[in-house]
Structure 1
Amino acid sequence: MSRDRVDERLETLLARAHQQLGIVVYDGLMGSGGPPELRDPDQMLGSLLAAAHRRTGEAVAGRLARRHGKEHGERVVADGVARAENLLMRRLAVVRLKYRQRAMDCAREHWPLNVVTVIEKAVDAVQELITGLEEEDLVETACDRLVQVSRSMGRVLALPGSATQPTPALGGYDYLEEVEEYLSTCSARLVAQARRSKQLLDSELIPHFHAPELSCLGMLELAQDLSDDLDLAHREALSLSRAVAAVKEASTDFRGADLRSADLAGADLEGIRWDASTVWPPEWKERIWKASLAAANGHGELIVGVEPHGSTVAVDL
């Protein structure tokens, strides 16, 4: 193995170790109710840990910046989608539970409608237009359908865009910041593609129907360009769909989780999936069992409901 290859693997391992250290420290603090009021010995230890974490990050960032020509301090992410999906489920279960409602609200804001279905209907309409133009058999309702497509793309443009990046806390690994960044990045890419498609529709393709002489050849070229843009938009819509599903999964799946230190007072537990290996606070165990029903998959999973039940959950655990 070449020296460059060895150095690259070392840098990758250092970057991952630095990232995981920040996650563990931050989640440990937030899961236990926030940063404690430190006494003198604790303050000294905390300062040493914080300094070590900061210097490790600076060293890793500097090495990566020199190798890849990036500015010092820039976050280097090889695959943002994979990182976010893996990271959300790796966060402490008590942190995911503590912020699950806000994370779910964020997911709903980025998924007010099924954008995958919207884009697929737009693709179908444009494909029908292309077929008609190729066969020189343009239907009378073609223009109306394109106007409907333009309106539906306008609904996609109303999705939340890329949010301003907040100041990182303790290494930049705040759970809700990760959720917002993940969803906003996917939304921004989809909105950019939807805007390009709508502009092509409104400024070039639809006006052809009102021109003195209808040019089927010119419309065909535009329709094919629009079809290519919509294919890219469809890919981004699927990416956003997966992002929303990942956030919901991280906010719902607590099978095998250790929740003994979680504060469940006032928490919305409806819809949480758990199993026999999930550990609840002792004072909540019986209440959770009575409020849960067996999942339909028959794999020993349970789902927390709204109202307590009078009998034990009938499930083979």
Structure 2
Amino acid sequence: MRGDQAFDRLEDLLGRAHHQLGIAVYDGLMSSGGPPELRAPDQMLGRLLATAYRQAGHAVTGRLSRQGQVPPREHGVSDRAESSEGLLMRRPATVRLKYREQALNCARGYWPLDAVRVIGDAMQVVQEIVADLEEEVLPTTACDSLLKVSGSMGQVLALPQPANLQPALSGFDYMEEVENILATCTWRLMSATRRSKQLLDNELLLHFRAAEFSWLGALEVSQDLADDLDLAYREALSLSSAVTVVQDASTDFRGADLQSVDLDGVDLEGIRWDVSTDWPAHWQERIWRASLAVDTNQGELIVGAEPRDSTVPVDI
């Protein structure tokens, strides 16, 4: 490996190490109820951690600036090599459980309607119109069908817009990560949908309303619209997957160590777990009585709404 390549590799490793240290420190604090009020015996440890983190950051930034390089951005999901699923599932189970209700509400807010189905139906209508235009046989209901497609695009554009969160400590806040993942997909979906609606409203519908109908002109615009809707459909699938990632990170606690978590007031309904999940000792019997075995996955259980009359068989 050449010297400059080795140096670049070192800088990348240092940057990643610094970022992961920040996440670990932040998650450790938040999972235990937030930054504690330091007492005398804790002062030295707290100061050492803070000093080590600051010095690591200054060292990395200084080395990069001396080489004329720009440190990698820590925000922006699209710039990260890791998948969204890995980003969330690598966060401590205690943190994911603490913010579970907030994360699920956030996911529901970004997915109040099935955009995949809505755009898929619109694609089907436009593809049928393309086929009719190619045959130069157009049904009288074609214009009404396109107006319905325009209304469907309006439904998607009415989805909640991404919120602007106040950045937490170096961007390590779990809910900021959740919001970024969902917002990135939403922005792309909105952009593709808006482009499709503008093409439909400002060009294709004008062909249908013109005094002299142009088969070739309408066909070209319809094909362009079909391509734009195909992109919007893929972006809708991407947002749907991002919502699923957030939901999975908020419900999948198989093998997690939750012994130190205060479960009072926590909504546990729907959580997936297994025999390797460690619950607080005084919650174990209650969790077992409220859970049902999942038929599709041997050994997996899901917490129900109410305790059952009998516990789940131990041989699951």
Find out whether 1:233 has 2:217 as its counterpart.
no
Aligned ranges 1:53-68 → 2 under 5 Å:
53-61=53-61
1:315–1:114 CA distance, 2 compared to 1 (3 A): farther
Aligned ranges 1:191-230 → 2 under 5 Å:
191-230=190-229
Find out whether 1:248 has 2:247 as its counterpart.
yes
Deviations 1:1-23 (A, max 9, x none): 22333233222322221222111
- TM-fit CA distance, 1:270: 0.4
Residue 91 of structure 1 aligns to which amino acid in structure 2? R
Find out whether 1:124 has 2:127 as its counterpart.
no
Provide the rounded CA distance (Å) in 1 between the counterparts of 2:5 and 2:149: 50
Residue 32 of structure 1 aligns to which amino acid in structure 2? S
Do the aligned partners of 2:167 and 2:176 also contact (CA within 8 Å) in 1?
no
Do the aligned partners of 1:204 and 1:222 also contact (CA within 8 Å) in 2?
yes
> Which range moves more in the overlay, 58-67 or 86-95?
58-67
Corresponding residue for 2:286? 287
Name the SS for the 2:144 alignment partner: helix
Name the SS for the 2:302 alignment partner: strand
Corresponding residue for 2:268? 269
TM-score by length of 1: 0.92
Residue 209 of structure 1 aligns to which amino acid in structure 2? F
> Which range moves more in the overlay, 277-286 or 207-216?
207-216
Aligned ranges 1:34-45 → 2 under 5 Å:
34-45=34-45
Deviations 1:81-131 (A, max 9, x none): 844321210111111111101100000001111111111111111111111
Corresponding residue for 2:19? 19
> Which range moves more in the overlay, 126-135 or 81-90?
81-90
1:142–1:57 CA distance, 2 compared to 1 (3 A): farther
Name the SS for the 1:134 alignment partner: helix
Do the aligned partners of 1:62 and 1:73 also contact (CA within 8 Å) in 2?
no
Name the SS for the 1:256 alignment partner: coil
1:64–1:316 CA distance, 2 compared to 1 (3 A): farther
Residue 162 of structure 1 aligns to which amino acid in structure 2? P
Do the aligned partners of 2:75 and 2:171 also contact (CA within 8 Å) in 1?
no
Corresponding residue for 2:7? 7
1:28–1:154 CA distance, 2 compared to 1 (3 A): same
Corresponding residue for 2:157? 157
Do the aligned partners of 2:291 and 2:307 also contact (CA within 8 Å) in 1?
yes
Name the SS for the 1:309 alignment partner: coil
Name the SS for the 2:292 alignment partner: strand
Provide the rounded CA distance (Å) in 2 between the counterparts of 1:229 and 1:241: 18
Corresponding residue for 1:176? 175
1:299–1:11 CA distance, 2 compared to 1 (3 A): farther
Do the aligned partners of 1:94 and 1:259 also contact (CA within 8 Å) in 2?
yes
How many residues are aligned here?
315
Find out whether 1:89 has 2:83 as its counterpart.
no
- TM-fit CA distance, 1:208: 1.4
Provide the rounded CA distance (Å) in 2 between the counterparts of 1:299 and 1:35: 40
- TM-fit CA distance, 1:168: 2.7
1:308–1:151 CA distance, 2 compared to 1 (3 A): same
- In structure 2, stretches of 5+ residues that fail to align are none
Find out whether 1:278 has 2:313 as its counterpart.
no
- TM-fit CA distance, 1:67: 7.1
Find out whether 1:305 has 2:304 as its counterpart.
yes
Name the SS for the 1:155 alignment partner: helix
- TM-fit CA distance, 1:217: 0.9
Deviations 1:58-90 (A, max 9, x none): 4435656777864x6843766448443212101
Name the SS for the 1:97 alignment partner: helix
Residue 124 of structure 1 aligns to which amino acid in structure 2? Q
Deviations 1:126-145 (A, max 9, x none): 11111111111112111111
- TM-fit CA distance, 1:226: 1.1
Do the aligned partners of 1:18 and 1:56 also contact (CA within 8 Å) in 2?
yes
Name the SS for the 1:234 alignment partner: helix
1:298–1:52 CA distance, 2 compared to 1 (3 A): closer
> Which range moves more in the overlay, 228-237 or 9-18?
9-18
- In structure 1, stretches of 5+ residues that fail to align are none
TM-score by length of 2: 0.93
